[in-house]
Structure formats: C-alpha cells, structure tokens
Amino acid sequence: MVRGPIRPSHRSVEPLRNIELKARLRNLDSARQVAARLATKRMGVEHQIDTYFAAPRGRLKLRQVNGLSNTLIAYSRSDTAAARPSDYHLVPVAHPETLKQALAAALGIVGVVDKRREIFLVDNVRIHLDEVVGLGAFLEFEAVLSPGQDEAQGYERLATLQEAFRIDPATICTGSYRDLLAQQAGP
C-alpha cells in the first residue's frame, strides 16, 4: 500500500484563557477558613505531580493527578507580580509514562513539582490551596474565562478575592512553582 505525505490540519484551536494570581501563604489554616466561607463548591484534594519539559516557547508540563488522570499542559503567561492572563492548551494523556519518556528524550526535563492541592470554587474562579514539597504553602486564584468573555471580569473577581484573603502584595509570586524551586536551588 502506497501512502501519500501526511498533511497537517489547518484548523486552528484557540487556547483556553484564565486570569491568575499566586501568592505565598503565611497561614494555610486561615486561608482555608476564608475559602470555605466564600466557596460555592468544594472540589476536594488532589496529589499532583507536574513534570516540566524544556519547551522552546512558553511552558510545557505533564500533570499526573492522584495516579488516575494525566494531562499535558502547554501554557504561556508573563512573569509579573500581579494578576495576569494565561493562555493554555489541555491534552488528556492515556499513557503518561511513555509520553514522559518521549518528551524527556526530545526536550529534556527541567523540573518536577510535587504538591497537595485543595480546590474550592467561587463562581468561575478556582481557589487552590497548595502545599508544595520544598517550597511551602501557596494560594492561587484562576478565573476561568469563557470564549469571548471580557478579561476585566476576571481581574475584578481576583481583586475582590485578593482583598478577602488579605493578600500582601509582597507575597505575590512571579513564576511557576518550578521556577521557584529552581531559584531556591541556586545556580
């Protein structure tokens, strides 16, 4: 059987978008009380292992949750100490260890983040209370935007939550947990 060349699809898939903010926590229990009071839904607790690869653009990680679900996440965002937009693609993965080996061979692994994540919802905002191995406790907000939704709503909701949690601007993080672990390890 003779086959012709494989032609790539020209269909464009728009990335998903959220507005996010991450800050170090001084008191995880206090943050949990605020989250429980504000939440419209409690989503539970997950154990997440994120393996980061040396992507030529943006960030690329394989997220393994509770040993049950696996997602390849490609995302791009600025590293500013403020609420900021993040564009991302999510790809479900059936064979995470095989994919991890292939990506490690092609791109290299630049870090692994192991965390316990407690998740609450306040309308379209996910509140994450994270305990990251080697880093400590963090609070993260992700205002998930619908296609075409104005970013201003996401920024407003995060500002309201920032006030409710009394987040000190000095505790706001600029990079990913992988970046923070790399900074902590030094050159």
What tens-digit pLDDT sequence spans the chain (187 residues)?
444 454 555 555 789 999 999 999 999 999 999 999 999 999 999 999 999 999 999 999 999 999 889 999 999 999 999 999 999 999 999 999 999 999 999 999 999 999 999 999 999 999 999 999 999 999 999 999 998 888 999 999 999 999 999 999 999 999 999 999 998 877 6
Helix (H) or strand (E) holding 72: strand 69-77
Q: What 3-state DSSP class applies to 43? A: strand
DSSP code at position 148: T
For the chain, domains (ranges, CATH) are 17-185 (2.40.320.10)
* Angle (nearest 5°) at CA 17 between 50 and 34: 70
The type of residue at 57 is R
Task: In whole angstroms, give the CA distance from residue 170 to residue 101.
Answer: 38
Q: Look up tokens 């409690």; give the residue.
A: 42
* Residues 6 or more apart in contact with residue 68 via CB below 8 angstroms: none
